[in-house]
Structure 1
Amino acid sequence: MPMFHYRGHFGRRRAASHDAGRDPAPAVDFLAGLADGGPVLELAIGTGRVALPLAARGLAVEGVEGSPELVQRLRARPGGADLPVVVGDLADVAVRGRFRLVYLIFDTLFNLVDADRQADCLRNVARVLTPGGAFVVEAFVPDLARFEREERQARMPSVTEDSAAPRLHRYDRAAQTFIRQTLTYSAGGVRLWPFGMHYLWPGQIDRLAERAGLRLEARYAGWRGEVFDAASTDHVSVYRKPGGGSPGREAPGSRVP
């Protein structure tokens, strides 16, 4: 299945709705508990919906973002002009300095549609973490039954008197990729809104982390420390770089033995 790189395209198409329907408070509370005083780096910082509340708690926060359009929206928000942000590919982690906490959330690891670039990302995270520093990944748990349903049935997330937007999926299970195409029909014509991901199971992310020199410390089913089990649809995983002093406060929930 041919895949495309989302950088730039994502920001142009999604900047206006990027924050819709997402409450950052649970993630902010969780991450602040791990930050150990900072500094903190967010990969794919977007419009700062998580970074800005963290900075408001007194933490030094920096970011990497592939979309200039999203960075522009970040700069327009209160405090956004003060955050150092590198515009570039999140896999390169093209920042200077060392961080006590790096985080990559809202499934964004999967936006790197090339497996080698996902591995590059984790290696570069390990490079910029201080000894004892934490790396947090939030992602969905792949659900093969849901994939089957999405391929069989088109969804209709938006219908108005003037437009309709059916959404279609195609999965490549061997490659662990999918393309989602949303077609918007309106008086102005038809517009295509493609989006792709390279998804991973939690254990596959663990192996990438191990090869990068990071160890899994804890896994939760959500930002409030819910217990992760076989029925969990999402995970928040905390990885630690060996060495250094005592880690920051952990979020509540089940530790990984």
Structure 2
Amino acid sequence: MTSSELWSRATADRYDAEETEMSSAAVLGPTLAFLAELAGDGRALEFAVGTGRVGVPLRERGVPVVGIELSEHMAAVLRRKVDAHTLPVTIGDMATTVVPGAFSLVYLVYNTLSNLLTQDEQVECFRNAARHLEPGGRFVVELGVPPLRFLPPGQVAVPFDVSERHLGFDTFDLVEQILVSHHLTRDGDGTGDAHTDAGRYRRTCSRHRYAWPAELDLMARIAGLELERRVADWDGTPFTEDSGKHISVWRKPA
């Protein structure tokens, strides 16, 4: 077991409903095209496959996909969509769990690398990816760039969503490189009075270890991988100092 926090049954059951935007064609289309091109005629391994938001449609595109998932509850939601023969899933952590075979692509999307709360575990995740890759295979990570420059002096919180149904902000421990995402989500329909609606907000939080792209490149080098490409999004927008996230591709030497 790693330091990753486990998803509960309740969280897993509402995950897809709360991530409808991330499951939209506008988001998934470029993601799937990017990953399918890298997979080629080979197999793909998704670390933290979750409810299959990416893995299931990638499999439907003809890419054989295998998943590793820490939460049995998240895997159970995936299993409602596709059977174990079509998309095998092993319950375990992405830093140490090994599945049979070699893969042309290992990928880890939607900031999930940050679920590993220590540098050592993140390094082991890179090593585990390299362990599963065939020569010439790629490891792909989608991860946000720490928004520390938005922190005013003396403050520790940065909002990332202020909308009618959701308030989200991150707090930072700059010494430990720990980010805590706080969420206030409205469960009601917003039609009641102010006191009623106020009681319908659900509060959740999750811990993450943030890392800079350069730190990830060093982790990759430790694992024997070489940086091949870094872009700002799945459409291939150039990565710059203003980019809020990156898609990085490391290659295992042939």
Q: TM-score scaled to structure 1, two decimals?
A: 0.81
Q: For residues 225 and 65 of structure 1, do their structure 2 counterparts lie closer, same or farther at Cα, with a shift above 3 Å needed?
A: same
- Secondary structure of the residue aligned to 1:9 is coil
| Corresponding residue of 2:191 | none
Whether the 8 Å CA contact 2:115–2:209 is kept in 1: the answer is yes
| Corresponding residue of 2:156 | 151
State whether structure 2 residue 144 is matched by structure 1 residue 140: yes
| Corresponding residue of 1:233 | 244
Distance, in Å, in 2 between the alignment partners of 1:218 and 1:135 is 11
Distance, in Å, in 1 between the alignment partners of 2:150 and 2:42 is 39
Shift of 1:53: 1.5
| Corresponding residue of 1:112 | 116
Q: What amino acid maps onto 1:32 in structure 2?
A: A
Distance, in Å, in 2 between the alignment partners of 1:140 and 1:122 is 17
Whether the 8 Å CA contact 2:7–2:73 is kept in 1: the answer is no
Q: For residues 30 and 154 of structure 1, do their structure 2 counterparts lie closer, same or farther at Cα, with a shift above 3 Å needed?
A: closer
Distance, in Å, in 1 between the alignment partners of 2:178 and 2:9 is 21
Consecutive unaligned residues of structure 2, counting only runs of 5 or more, are 187-196
Distance, in Å, in 1 between the alignment partners of 2:73 and 2:51 is 9
| Corresponding residue of 2:21 | 21
Q: What amino acid maps onto 1:8 in structure 2?
A: L
Whether the 8 Å CA contact 2:94–2:128 is kept in 1: the answer is no
Moved more, 168-177 or 86-95: 168-177
Q: What amino acid maps onto 1:151 in structure 2?
A: V
Identity of counterpart residues, as a percentage? 38
Whether the 8 Å CA contact 1:47–1:74 is kept in 2: the answer is yes
Distance, in Å, in 2 between the alignment partners of 1:116 and 1:157 is 34
Shift of 1:94: 2.4
Q: For residues 83 and 137 of structure 1, do their structure 2 counterparts lie closer, same or farther at Cα, with a shift above 3 Å needed?
A: same
Mapping for residues 57-72 of structure 1, pairs under 5 Å? 57-72=61-76
Q: For residues 37 and 196 of structure 1, do their structure 2 counterparts lie closer, same or farther at Cα, with a shift above 3 Å needed?
A: same
State whether structure 2 residue 54 is matched by structure 1 residue 50: yes
Q: For residues 21 and 121 of structure 1, do their structure 2 counterparts lie closer, same or farther at Cα, with a shift above 3 Å needed?
A: same
Which of 96, 99, 103 aligns to 2:100? It is: 96
| Count of residues in correspondence between the two structures | 236
Moved more, 14-23 or 229-238: 14-23
Distance, in Å, in 2 between the alignment partners of 1:202 and 1:60 is 29
Q: For residues 203 and 153 of structure 1, do their structure 2 counterparts lie closer, same or farther at Cα, with a shift above 3 Å needed?
A: closer
Whether the 8 Å CA contact 1:6–1:195 is kept in 2: the answer is no
Whether the 8 Å CA contact 1:38–1:59 is kept in 2: the answer is yes
Q: TM-score scaled to structure 2, two decimals?
A: 0.82
Consecutive unaligned residues of structure 1, counting only runs of 5 or more, are 244-257
Q: For residues 78 and 85 of structure 1, do their structure 2 counterparts lie closer, same or farther at Cα, with a shift above 3 Å needed?
A: closer
| Corresponding residue of 1:82 | 86
